[in-house]
Amino acid sequence: MKKLLQFSKPLLLLFTAGLLITSCSEDQENPIDGAELSQTELRTILETDAVSASADSILADLYASNNSQSGRNAPDCYEVTYTESGFTAVFNNCVLNGTDNANGTVTVVYSTEPGTASFTATYVDFYVGDIKLNGTRTFTIIGDPNQSAISFSVTSDMTAEFSDDSVITENGSREFTFTFGDSLETSTYSITGSWELNVDQQEYAVNITSALEGNLSCGYLTSGTMDISKNGLEVTVDFGDGTCDNIATIIYPNGATEDVTLDD
């Protein structure tokens, strides 16, 4: 289980780093009937998992510390109760991921199925900075960490509340695969899955139709497509042909396209 958490943390960070869209270019054509997916909406959709992943990072730090009694992991920062099936941690203003303070309760339960490396984390009024998280995330490892490729799935049923009173709920699954190569260029990762979001009463359905892929030498996703549905409008987001650049393209049903950049 410790290997699972130690491995999942860098992959989650890779996923977070790759899915930041911060600006967009002018439309090449007009979207159909004025309906569009805004840059803000797309950014929210792609960054949602990063919110939950920040809590996962804290969880990985806690587990990997092996109940360390020093520094920021000291007992005055959190209390942990261990059982045969997992543990419960109560955080009190902890800075475990180097940035945001953690407050609240998380309970981890290990899978009891033989041969299954899986655990479920339940967050109850858990704060990362000023974001409040409630819900569950289940992690299941797929494959052998000692082999050249490793995969794990993450199934989420989470609610995030922000300081501006906005609320995001997420329900769905993603599968992450990391393939170890001889160099950064040949060490690759891919993401598949589908999920639903509700952002301040606006609903979105997201489905990765061709695996989102990248490599460790490039700071961006380099290929793959995902479909996003909103109020009857369905668009495709294309992340490219494998070239390392910061461009993705939104494709509307009438063929209109809009380029977006993956950084400032």
Higher pLDDT, 231 or 49: 231
Nearest CA among 237, 205, 243 for reference residue 224: 237
246 or 212: whose pLDDT is higher? 212
- Measure the CA–CA gap between 33 and 221, rounded to whole angstroms: 30
**DSSP summary character for residue 6:** H
C-beta of residue 173 within 8 angstroms of C-beta of residue 156: yes
Name which residue leads in pLDDT, 98 or 89. 89
d(CA 26, CA 46): 20
Q: How far apart are CA 191 and CA 171, in angstroms?
A: 16
- The 3-state DSSP class for residue 50 equals helix
Residues linked to residue 156 through DSSP beta bridges, in sequence order:
137, 172
Counted residue by residue, the chain has a size of 264
Q: Is the pLDDT assigned to residue 44 strictly greater than 90?
A: no
Phi, psi of 211 (to 5 degrees): -45, 130
Whole-number Å distance between alpha carbons of 2 and 61: 10
The pTM is what? 0.76
Type of residue found at 236: T
Percent of the chain with pLDDT over 70: 75
What average pLDDT is seen over the chain?
Answer: 79
Least confident of 54-58, 177-181, 238-242, 250-254: 54-58
Query: Given pLDDT bands bounded at 50, 70 and 90, which one contains residue 33?
Result: low
What's the pLDDT score for residue 81? Answer: 87
In this predicted model, which residue has the larger pLDDT, 210 or 202?
210
Q: 74: which 2 tokens?
A: 């000291």
* 28 has pLDDT over 50: no
**Is it the case that residue 10 has pLDDT exceeding 90?**
no
Which residues are within 8 A (CB) of 157 and not within 5 positions of it... i.e. 6 or more apart? 135, 136, 137, 170, 171
In angstroms, the CA 225 to CA 174 distance is: 14
In this prediction, residue 142 carries a pLDDT of: 79
Residue 261 DSSP code: E
Share of the chain above pLDDT 90, in %: 40
Q: Mind listing the pLDDT tens digit for each residue in 190-207? A: 999 999 999 988 999 999
Rounded to 5 degrees, φ, ψ at 147 are -90, 180
Collapsing DSSP to helix, strand or coil, 11 comes out as helix
Q: Model confidence at 8, in pLDDT bands (50, 70, 90)? A: very low
- pLDDT for the residue numbered 227: 97
Q: Looking at residue 64, what is its pLDDT?
A: 59
Residue 230, number of CB atoms within 10 A of its CB: 20
Give the closest residue to 203 by CA, choosing from 211, 215, 195.
Answer: 195
Give residue 115's pLDDT band: very low, low, confident or very high (50, 70, 90): low
Confidence of residue 250 (pLDDT cuts 50, 70, 90): very high
Which pLDDT band, with edges at 50, 70 and 90, does 164 fall under? very high
